[in-house]
Structure 1
């Protein structure tokens, strides 16, 4: 199995065949190897646990120390992936105890490095440093690639520990010492290691307030580390880019990088003690912007991330209590929710008041126009009504675009239904129309009006009921109560209002004969059209057209 790459497309199939064959031949050594490979290969926790249990049963009868070491190292890897660092250390120490330091020095010091790395994950920097120092003192003695890689990894890890312990000069010296060994690496490994060393150097530069130099190193390292599929250090780069730009007073750019940490947390569920602080920057930024909604969002995200982190790393309880107190965050979340609720209530009150004032103004305006008696006044009134309709259409479009879509707003339909129930929207059986029926009729009649289907000649109530997929009784009741018109008046008003609107924009329309106009807008003859026009406008069509021609005036701005 060691000769097959994990990237091989047939790896899983080959692995299963290897396990089945080993079991069939009762070759426990090979079977054990297969189990170890399976433990590392599968991401599914249950499948992995099954293979762990199987390997545990086999290892109990094994005398081969190397196999037992590999077993404990594999289990430590599983717990490391699951971020259970206490269990990781437990199995790492079991493996270390079985390794003969004198006969297997490379394996022994590699295990020391692994323990140091786990201690580093646990933020136990002083203990981690001692393990890295001991391991590096061995790796530096030889120049083969395995030892060089071990030395470089130990030196960079020591630099990171010294960074967190504020030994910046020591950290700088260690990085220089490590880079002196780069000439042993091939070009590909040299580029990759240089990116990680630059990342550590950028952290040191940040602490030394060399923000511009730090940014340059971070931006150079980022694409290489992303290509290496190392999302943990990718997150770390975003964090330090954000911190550098914050100190350089480019807070808008800083926030874009802190947001990337939140995005990666959502997709990878990865966070650590240092990355949690990204949320404090986000919250502070939106506090300065007085954006309560964003403050609440990132406070909630910080709460979730902290709880997620705390669940697996309880050994850092002192850290949570000192910097990220759950109870304080929950109290702040509640405070923001209350403040947003009050703000929304004020907005609702102001909006409703404004609408009531607007409605009252329109009603007053329309009533004032109705007092004008003469044809001349009626003519001007019609022109003003055209303008009112145009304004109402603009206001309606703006309102729908910025507030909500009628089709999906349940609160609107509930209120709409109650208002019309108060009006007495009932069917012939003295039963109230359902909210769903009111909604369906509202939407379909809106579409009917927008598509100008009312210009169809000889349109009947049955035709419209068929279009709305309802019966004529419900439709007639809806039009009578909601539109406050009879069916003929409703259709006539739509047709005449459309004509009035078109006359303001189509200069050739007023030169057409009345008979042509009548047919164009859905009437069977001149007389029915003229009667409808007179009833809707209060003036005759001939007078209205004559006034348009005489004045030769455009009433639209």
Structure 2
């Protein structure tokens, strides 16, 4: 691969002066030889033929560049700007990294000369893809949004779904996984209808991303099912690179399923192709999860080199994403335990830098994607309704009604947003002001009182259960995972029916709410009293409080407090910053 790049670079430099002179428009081109003329044997060949030959010789740079030269010569001789755009779009895959941005600019500059909105939109997608490939997601989003301006009103379905796929990728990066899931399902359904190569790639890429989203949503079995199907389809279509990405994704999914040996095997199998593809981001992600596999198996020394490779990528490429933040938490904790103050301080500084990058990028992009893409999509839907209703007198009322609903829904969502913020702040203050209740004294139960209150249980049994509950709460046994009503009843030497009735009667809640509330009260007190826990991830806080998944923890936190744990953490950190 490196030799191929060097060959490309030498060829480009050799003929660079010629390109500047022979261009019809003043933008860079690729390796067309001095005096190059379209061979007679190719003059009557179609652009599709030349494009297929470029794809055929994808791994043979010299032959691929020959057909690219031919493609460009044909387009220039015919003054076909659209095909010149295609030539530059193909060339960007063959030029050295330091020239790719110039070629992306060339695509846009040529496309603008066509005055054709779909062509211009496609050019902006290409430029967005360049920034996405170097993991500059903010810039990628900017160009995808520019593309949307040109594509949204066109009839080019392929471009619309291509853009949906890329927007879904940004949403995955931002953590808007439910929204990405909807877009990716639409993309899979669309791309699988056609047999052309571009559609096949779109189909496989959408399936790969779909498996990734299921993983992010905690649906690990569904992620495996999707990955296995995607791998089968990739083999059927004989697209090797996509196969490796699917294997890489499934390796990460196997980590979450705690199949560590399988996870390490899959990721290591996929990494050589990913490294060859210069995909430093997925390379770093692979290293992190290999490290996590060893770390979770208490093999810290084997994990460390992989964590340090993640840090090297961050240092060289400034690439970080939310789950990789834990890389630094683990390194800080490791060197703290070892008493290595120098390395502990180093990784604390790296963690702080990672946080600053994450906060800046995510705040910027999350606002922009919702305001400029999601709102635009809603506006587009409104315009389509208006277009359908235009000229139809009998439907005028429906149009006004739709607009009114749209207007009032918008007002409602704004009102709900600000009301929720006000309510969340109130709930936060209540949590901060709340004082921990004193443990209840043992309750003596009289048979008459028990019967009057509707508990058909021996008073001595009730008293015994209440004492067990008091010990259970004071000793914080509720932090143990997988506590079922049956298990707890067995530990109390009683039956689940009695235990359920006593909890309902004396704690005024069912068993699940009782257990969840104890855990949430514990973690809230911990966050209020010990600032170090405010740097924990939601997953880490879930583990600390006995929940099996971050999703279960967040849901229980909201049910108990009326706010989400992320909001609570943000407000705690704001107050700390204000005090500082």
**Superposition TM-score, scaled by structure 2 size:** 0.47
